[in-house]
Structure 1
Amino acid sequence: MNYADDPAIAESLSFNLISKSLRKDSRSIHNRLCSISNDSEFVLAVASAYQLPLIANERCGRWYIPSNQIYDSVYFKSTDGHTDNWEFNLRRLNLHILDSVISKKGIIIVDSTRRGKRMPDSLSKTIPIWCAVLNRAIFTYSDRKVGTKIVHLPPLSVSASERDQIATRIDGWTQDFINCGIDIEKLRNQVDKPLRPIWVYPDDSLLLPPHKPEYTDIYPIILCTASRMVLDGAERQGYTYVQGAADDHEGWASSITPEVFWRNREVLLNSTDAEIEHLIEQDLLSTLPSTAASPEIAAIADTGIYIGRKISEYDYDDLDVKFQYIVDLSTTASKPSPRRHVFYKPLPDGKKGSKIFRTILPRLLDFITTSDNHLVFDKSNLLILCDTGQDFCVGLALAILSLFFDEDGKPYAERTETRIDKDVVRKRLTFLLLQKRVNPSRATLVSVNSVLMGWT
């Protein structure tokens, strides 16, 4: 039998071939980088129209902004805005961005999403929920500045039913926010106008303001979706356009990072997939500048605790002499130092690393604790490193803060004998988040809670 003679079978075969071709196109690094470059033109047009700083929503948003034009970054997860899973996440408060909102009179947050949606849930729901909760906490119900709407959501992306369900949860999230240890009075003195989300996306680009708009009663939070909403494979301009091309970059980008892309943009856009693979295999693309080889280190207020990202191997003795105690949880070894007390234990990413972290956390706490329950280090004396500077080092710092410091970062005379509970850990995490923009994994936080609950 000739299957091509059967219309149904022929149509099915044709559909499968098209689907296979589209999947291949979407996996193409060249197609993705060309799509990202194209989308970045809209992002820059938005920045020009509103004349506000560009803020990347990690991790996807960073690809769409030239590296030298990223003013700051935030981390709002789309999963916190998924239908029936809405959440105001106390682990991702992003309060550091308020200084920029006020000093610049607004910001533009950039993100994108894959096919089938006009905008990512991070922009359509997660950030609007964040704005609504902060407004509710800072302004009273009777305050006319807030207006009559509890939460502003884009009507084309969020149904009336979903909006009503989210609105009923705002007060509960607000109370959780107030109870987490934030200085609300300080926020009230800082933020004098409500935060208002405003959405822009390529399909609506003709509505970009011809002149910089002035907002007198609100701080505009411009939520910019970088990618056009198109059918797969529908646009070919010498390449196949991929909507939300930067999403899930771990699966396609190999060693190319946003910084590497923007530094080598012209070479990459004018190379075939095979040529790009050759550049990657031969390590011919420039990496991060050599000046970034030393750890990216940040202080946790004046607690004497520093956390950082270890980018490559280096000599511990090249560090500032103040770090007499070092906990290195990165997977990149360094030369031992006779001048320093170093606890080195490489922790891989993912579940395996989290399991090891939970196991060794008591030993890590012993390393920084004297026999009479005091810290072994004094001011500016403990450095904690991991591969990302966002996870395991944060977990250890959080455990130390919970045992030896109050919720304002003031040290106890000795390790607290008070029973540690989740509320104590949560308030120390809030304090830490106010010092540095970090995003520890849930597994790491569960490990800290588990160990500390049985520590005292």
Structure 2
Amino acid sequence: MLTQESAPKEERREPLRTTDLIFPSVSSQSSKVWSSIKRSALTVGNRLRSIEKDSISVISVKDAYNLPLVANERCGSWYVPPESKAGSAYFKSTDGHAGEWSFSLRRLNLQMLDIIEQHQGCVIVDSTRRGKSMPDALSKTVPIWCTVINRALFPDDATAHSLVTPPSVVSASEHAQITQRVEDFVAGFLSLPLDPAAMRMRISKPLKPLWVTPDSELPSLWRGHDHFHTIVLCTASCCSPGGEASDNGYVQGAADDSESWACGLTPILFWQSLHDLLNASEDDLPGMIRGIVQASHGRRDERAPVLVKPTSNIFIGSETNDNKWEAVITCSPPNTETASPNAAGPKRLHLEIGPGKIGSRQLRHELSKISAFVETLQTSQRPRILLTSTESNDHATGVALALLCLYIGQSGCWLGQRSAGNAVNKLFIKQRLSWIMASMPDASPSRATLQSVNAFLMG
């Protein structure tokens, strides 16, 4: 029998409160309710209305600075009416992610130089979601690009060599870490077979970024800078403190990741059908969008063939009806190529490549057909070869890259046979890719396609 002294003491406990109780079923139901609320706020209708609202802000930026709008693809094009769109840029937020800062050698954006020079600057439009004030593409990727271009093309102008980032978004520590990498970015850019002197002829002043959000006070009169071309980096979306969606149905960065919500709708189709889409009920929208998309399928996106310089015979684009091609290489799914290889006209090679990433993986094996095909072209000193895809120019760009690495000399001349002098490695492939990107800036080959080409060439 325990005595009073030896008995264990009872711990003093606070009285149990109702708020301390956890009812799993209630917690689960609450989670489902919040998920349902979020889904209802992120409807297609709310997204389209939010895009249209944000586009009004974008147009006001264009008017305030009297500069042309350039959409940072693919998101930016949703916010820019086609009649106001001066061009496209391809700056990825991933190149501005913390610790992963980069200057992309396959997204050079050199087409921007001509637009900037003509108008003394431009407005680059993008958006972001999840409560951020601006996307990494605008706060870091484009500033890195501006700094690299300035140092490479204006090496004697020290006033233009400093990295400029928005202090409200980029910390002093991150800014310093990016600055330490800039020289390596410049060296990588100058290692490409591009002529800095020729590029310097296209741009008369260094570049300087300036940031604008929907909360910014716009100038009543803008005169620009005497020493710099101004690159206005415009975030189209308002910053929602509660996340993507707000109580009033506004969706921040509504156009982001459009593949997951747009049901095939594209920016061009959106602006063409703007009035009908914005006035449709949420229940009617899916059917209306299906009709718009289906009607557009009959209108193929034709693109005039683009010459990949410095070659004089490699082209990427849609096939034309004339007979100026000695050879046509088509990338399309099986059973879609109807032309007979023995028919009059250009010699043809059909590479059986499906859409998307699956097709990119198939590309590696289909490229093995190229060598035998090129041997049939030996009768021509410089055969004009057209590379085309039924889905997009992604796979055709991959085939063009393989041809450039295997059959084109350093000066762009046609070799007609695999050159033992072409030491194919990653740097060599990047250099050849720069020819494509300089000639066709919106080619933007996917990572999966480039991986297949690399595997084929170096495997």
Q: Into which bin does the TM-score normalised by the smaller protein fall?
A: 0.7 to 0.9
Q: 1:285 to 1:423 in 2, by over 3 A?
A: closer
- Alpha-carbon distance between aligned partners in 2 of 1:259 and 1:295, rounded to the nearest angstrom: 16
Q: Spell out the pairing of 1:187-336 with structure 2 (5 A cutoff).
A: 187-204=199-216, 207-230=217-240, 231-232=242-243, 233-236=245-248, 240-283=249-292, 286-287=295-296, 290=299, 292=300, 294-301=302-309, 302-308=311-317, 319-331=321-333, 333-336=336-339
1:283 and 1:193 map into 2 onto residues whose CA distance is: 44
Q: 1:423 aligns with which of 427, 438, 455?
A: 427
Residue 117 (str. 1) matches residue 132 (str. 2)? yes
Amino acid at match of 1:51: N
Distance 1:54 1:135, change over 3 A: same
Task: Tell me if structure 1 keeps the 8 A contact 2:263–2:290.
Answer: no
1:20 partnered with 2:32:
no
How far does residue 188 in structure 1 lie from its aligned partner after superposition?
3.1
Per the alignment, residue 157 of structure 2 pairs with 143
Match of 1:55 in 2: 70
1:157 positional shift: 1.0
Name which of 430, 450, 456 aligns with 1:451.
Answer: 456
Q: Is residue 161 of structure 2 the alignment partner of residue 161 of structure 1?
A: no
Secondary structure of 1:224's counterpart equals strand
Distance 2:198 2:409 in 1: 19
Q: What are the equivalent positions in structure 2 for 1:64-103 lying under 5 Å apart?
A: 64-103=79-118
Give distance in 2, aligned partners of 1:284 and 1:99: 34
Q: 1:119 to 1:78 in 2, by over 3 A?
A: same
Report the Cα distance in structure 2 between the residues aligned to 1:193 and 1:300, rounded to whole angstroms: 27
Deviation of 1:385 after TM superposition, in Å, equals 1.2
Structure 2 counterpart of 1:328, one-letter code: T
What is the distance in 1 between the residues matched to 2:410 and 2:184? 22
TM-superposition CA deviations, 1:96-115 (whole Å, max 9, x none): 11011111110111111112
Aligned in 2, Cα 1:282/1:189: closer, same or farther, shift over 3 Å?
A: closer
Q: Deviations over 1:255-275 (max 9, x none)?
A: 211111000000000012221
Contact 1:58 1:74 (8 Å CA) reproduced? yes
Q: Is the 8 A contact 1:42 1:226 kept in 2?
A: yes
C-alpha contact 1:408 1:431 (8 A) present in aligned 2: no
1:386 to 389, 394, 397: 389
Assess if the C-alpha contact under 8 Å between 1:365 and 1:400 holds in 2. no
C-alpha RMSD of the superposition: 2.5
1:313 maps to which residue?
none
Moved over 6 A (4+): 4-7
> Against the structure 1 CA distance between its residues 194 and 369, is the aligned structure 2 distance closer, same or farther, given a 3 Å change threshold?
same
Contact 1:407–1:431 (Cα < 8 Å) also in 2:
no
Q: d(CA) in 2 for partners of 1:284 and 1:387?
A: 17
Does residue 442 in structure 1 map to residue 447 in structure 2?
Answer: yes
Once the two structures are overlaid, the 10-residue window that deviates more, 101-110 or 416-425, is: 416-425
Once residues 116 and 410 of structure 2 are traced to their aligned partners in structure 1, the CA distance between those partners, rounded to angstroms, is 26
The offset of 1:177, in angstroms, is: 0.8
**SS of equivalent residue, structure 2 residue 100:** coil
Identity within the alignment, %: 38
Change (3 A) 1:388 1:124: farther
> Contact conserved, 2:363 with 2:453, CA < 8 A, in 1?
no
Q: Which amino acid aligns with 2:365?
A: T
8 A contact 2:353–2:362 mirrored in 1:
yes
What is the alpha-carbon distance in structure 2 between the residues aligned to residue 86 and residue 168 of structure 1?
11
Corresponding position of 1:127: 142
**Alignment check: 8 A CA contact 1:264 1:285 kept:** no
- Structure with greater Cα Rg: 2
Paired residues of 2:128 and 2:135 also in contact (CA < 8 A): yes
